[in-house]
Structure 1
């Protein structure tokens, strides 16, 4: 009997969540415009890794994450940055940018991250918040250079809050 019951899982719904239908999926958030950017703090490099949407980025694969940073004393630092793109009259822009810290120690296959923080920050990005104040200066610079290089128009159309947060201007 248990085999016949369908399980409800979290669905990423593309485009219009309702698509003309009423009922299932109505009011669901579309994740079409959010992208995870991973920043390697030591290397000063950033890249989009869609696998991070489900904690399956290249950095996270094969790692058991622990809730205490002290348990991973030699962890290499990374930032997972949720970047949401939206459109306004002037054109598309970086609307939500929120950063979450994590560490990874490949040698012991362990890492540190706060899963609730990662989920909440993705939600905040979708809701057009800018949360980058807690990032180190080098990583802020890496992120600003990456966002600019990715699309100069998106950067130029973005809020002063984002630019001040990353550039300190």
Structure 2
């Protein structure tokens, strides 16, 4: 008998900032509590949260040596790693930062392509509430929009027009 995989949710935003009022060590540090990585399998048309991506250990990335040149992985399967940050306003929680990074993986040779500096910088941009999705292909944008909307309609409805237009515009 096969067990159904537990569906992961986005990281929960805490009502109180643990650093609030604290002026000592670590003050001013960005918290990773409100960010979640979403992996988009472009060919399969699927998106899922994989918290392993926080440390480059998602199911897609495990066992893969990443190279700096896309040409070195000519048969790589395309993916997007999307950093999604959740924040709260008076209206409620919303998708505050959404940034996408491209990568490819060729399981047969256990190699892949990704730009580690880009992945780190895009995570930082997401934490700082930026929306960077304009470089994604139309199919991937639709997959991500549908995933975010179906995951939590309230989060989607409370999100900025910038995000909605960025993902729904053709």
Q: Tell me which interval the TM-score lies in, with the shorter structure as reference length.
A: 0.7 to 0.9
Q: 2 CA distance for matches of 1:129 and 1:19?
A: 23
CA deviations over 1:103-145 (Å, ceiling 9, x no partner)? 0000000000000000000000001000001101111000000
Greater CA radius of gyration, 1 or 2?
1
Q: Which residue of 2 aligns with 1:121?
A: 122
Give the drift of 1:55: 0.4
Q: Which residue of 2 aligns with 1:76?
A: 77
Is the alpha carbon distance of 1:154 and 1:115 closer, same or farther for their aligned partners in structure 2, counting shifts above 3 Å?
same
Unaligned runs of 5+ in 2: 1-13
Unaligned runs of 5+ in 1: 1-13
What value does the CA root-mean-square deviation take over the aligned residues?
Answer: 1.5
Is 1:46–2:69 an aligned residue pair? no
Is 1:108–2:109 an aligned residue pair? yes
TM-score (ref. length: structure 2):
0.87
Is the alpha carbon distance of 1:129 and 1:19 closer, same or farther for their aligned partners in structure 2, counting shifts above 3 Å?
closer
Give the drift of 1:26: 1.7
Q: Which residue of 1 aligns with 2:11?
A: none
Is 1:141–2:169 an aligned residue pair? no
CA deviations over 1:67-100 (Å, ceiling 9, x no partner)? 1000000000000000000011111100000000
Specify the SS of the correspondent of 2:31: coil
TM-score (ref. length: structure 1):
0.88
Q: How many residues align?
A: 156
Give the drift of 1:28: 1.2
Residues 58-97 of structure 1: matches in 2 within 5 Å?
A: 58-97=59-98
Give the drift of 1:156: 0.4
Is the alpha carbon distance of 1:109 and 1:122 closer, same or farther for their aligned partners in structure 2, counting shifts above 3 Å?
same
Q: 1 CA distance for matches of 2:25 and 2:109?
A: 43
